[in-house]
Amino acid sequence: MDTFEFVGDYIELNKLLKASGLCGTGGMAKIEIENGQVSVDGHVEYRKRRKIRNGQTVEYGGNSINVKQVPSDRSSESKNIS
């Protein structure tokens, strides 16, 4: 399972898929969510702008991402998958 770090209270699901590289474009991310291809914490999610918060897990295309919030002083390290 990969980890995606972000700064702030949340990241929208479609933006997470694009920023993490799981979807090549934001448009592709929206279509995949609409088609029920993405799950959050084990449940299929259809809301493109679903707020994803610290500790949640997103699954798409056989990949799992654990979402982790980081303090704003580490903002230069955000959006990195390790």
CB 81 within 8 A of CB 6: no
Averaged pLDDT, 14-36: 96
Per-residue pLDDT tens digits for 62-82: 999 999 999 887 555 445 554
- The domains of the chain are located at 2-77
Q: At 31, is the secondary structure helix, strand, or coil?
A: helix
> Considering only the top CATH level, what class is 2-77?
alpha beta
Q: Which residue has the tokens 């479609």?
A: 14
- Which one has a higher pLDDT value, 73 or 51? 51
Q: Which of 73, 71, 60, 43 is nearest to 2 (CA)?
A: 60
